[in-house]
Amino acid sequence: MSQPESAVADAQAGDRGGATPMKGESLAAFAERHGLRRSIARPALPVYLRQLWQRRHFIVTYATSRNLSKYSNSVLGQLWQVITPLLNAAVYWLMFGLILGQKDKPGVGGNYTAFLITGVMVFTFTQRSVLGGAKSVSSNLSLIRALHFPRASLPLAYTLQELQQLGWSMAVLIAIVLVTGEPVTWLWLLIPVALLLQTLFNLGAALMVARIGAFVRDVNQLLPFALRTWLYASGVFYSIQEQTKGLPELLRWVLEVNPAAAYIQFMRDLLIFEQAPSAVTWITCVFWAVCALIVGFLYFWLAEEKYGRG
């Protein structure tokens, strides 16, 4: 029934002839002699990257399918991808623009509607990627326990899903920017660069919170608060430059180099202020993208073999 009997079972298996463990040979050594490998070992980094690349079709299809399935039960369907951020922007416009009077402050470029919506759309992209990433492993345990694939596919697919949604939001954003009287400039050619950098950052962040969320479920309760604090600190509905005058330099600096604020600044420079992003903005945006991606990816990969346990 217990250990002795399973040893008996081994002995029985051993009686079968052919290749059997030799006397005194451990099963591990026996397995090695026959070239068997541990079935759950973390692949080396280059192998892992290659496996991810091989799974690209799965990642894309999974992201698309999730997007399709998400709104399949609502009447307006895919339209919600655009309506939700617009409704959010409308609430903020009412609260911060009208009631708290940010609308006519300097530093918003004289076009508060475009200023606000740009901020909301850009921040929402990061916010949703992080929220999705945190759940990407923990809510897909059954998938992880059923099939083999590099687990980083999941946070990757969730980030991609948000990127697909952003496509719609960007179209609306650009329409609003044009309607509110901003001209089309050559700077708009940099929009894909801005989105690429932000996507890389989001991916890194999603990978990081995916690992944390996989083992500490409480993160899902905590994250919304963290993200809301981040939202208020990132100058989505006010100009950090103007609003923080008189505060300690260090605090102002921290607010301005925070990744969300940097990506918002980058996009506003292109769409509203019609100026090339400053060197500081460039450096901040690239720095966060590269840093988050490398750190997030390594951090996620290091726990690759543990994700099934939940």
Partner 1 sequence: MAELTKERSQVALEEGKAAQEVVRAPEKRGKPTVVVDNLHIVYRVYGAASVHEKGNAANALMRILRRQGRPQMKEVHAVKGVSFVAYHGDAIGIIGRNGSGKSTLLRAIAGLLPPTKGAVYTDGQPSLLGVNAALMKDLTGERNIVLGCYAMGMTPAQVREKYDEIVEFSGIDEFVNLPMSAYSSGMGARLRFAIASAKTHDVLLIDEALATGDREFKRKSQERIRQMREEAGTVFLVAHNLDVIEETCNRVIWMHKGKIKMDGDPDKVLAAYTKN
Contact 138, 217 (CB under 8 A): yes
Phi-psi region of 24 (alpha: psi -120 to 50; beta: other; left: phi over 0): left
* 24 binds partner 1 per the rule CB under 8 A: no
Contact 121, 175 (CB under 8 A): no
Stretch that binds partner 1, among 19-27, 82-90, 118-126, 167-175 (CB under 8 A): 19-27
* 308 binds partner 1 per the rule CB under 8 A: yes
Contact 137, 155 (CB under 8 A): yes
Contact 230, 258 (CB under 8 A): yes
Helix (H, G, I), strand (E, B) or coil at 261: helix
| Straight-line distance from the first to the last Cα atom of the chain, in angstroms, rounded to the nearest whole number | 29
Beta carbon of residue 60, minimum distance to partner 1 (angstroms, whole number): 8
User: Considering only residues 52, 62, 122, 237, which one is a binding residue for partner 1 as defined by CB under 8 A?
Assistant: 62
Kindly give, in sequence order, each residue whose CB lies less than 8 Å from that of residue 176, ignoring residues fewer than 6 positions away: 113, 114, 117
* 221 binds partner 1 per the rule CB under 8 A: no
Q: Compare residues 73 and 101 and give the one whose CB is closer to partner 1.
A: 73
How far is it, in rounded angstroms, from Cα 177 to Cα 169? 12
Stretch that binds partner 1, among 93-101, 145-153, 222-230, 257-265 (CB under 8 A): 145-153
Beta carbon of residue 309, minimum distance to partner 1 (angstroms, whole number): 5
DSSP code, position 237: S
User: Considering only residues 13, 83, 179, 247, which one is a binding residue for partner 1 as defined by CB under 8 A?
Assistant: 13
Contact 277, 182 (CB under 8 A): no
How far is it, in rounded angstroms, from Cα 175 to Cα 179? 6
User: Considering only residues 18, 24, 183, 248, which one is a binding residue for partner 1 as defined by CB under 8 A?
Assistant: 18
Q: 13-32 burial, b if ≥16 CB within 10 A, otherwise e?
A: eeeeeeeebeeeeeeeeeee
Q: Compare residues 8 and 226 and give the one whose CB is closer to partner 1.
A: 8
Helix (H, G, I), strand (E, B) or coil at 142: helix
* 139 binds partner 1 per the rule CB under 8 A: no
* 20 binds partner 1 per the rule CB under 8 A: yes
* 23 binds partner 1 per the rule CB under 8 A: no
* 75 binds partner 1 per the rule CB under 8 A: no
Q: Compare residues 19 and 189 and give the one whose CB is closer to partner 1.
A: 19
User: Considering only residues 23, 72, 186, 246, which one is a binding residue for partner 1 as defined by CB under 8 A?
Assistant: 72
Q: Compare residues 40 and 283 and give the one whose CB is closer to partner 1.
A: 40
* 222 binds partner 1 per the rule CB under 8 A: no
Number of residues that bind partner 1 (CB under 8 A): 56
* 1 binds partner 1 per the rule CB under 8 A: yes
Stretch that binds partner 1, among 29-37, 115-123, 230-238, 277-285 (CB under 8 A): 29-37
How far is it, in rounded angstroms, from Cα 124 to Cα 238? 16
User: Considering only residues 23, 57, 245, 248, which one is a binding residue for partner 1 as defined by CB under 8 A?
Assistant: 57
Name the residue among 256, 153, 159, 157 with its Cα closest to residue 201: 159
Please give the residue ranges that form the binding site for partner 1 (CB under 8 A): 1-3, 5-7, 9-10, 12-13, 16-21, 26-28, 30-32, 34-40, 54-55, 57-58, 61-62, 65-66, 68-69, 72-73, 140, 142-149, 217, 305-306, 308-310
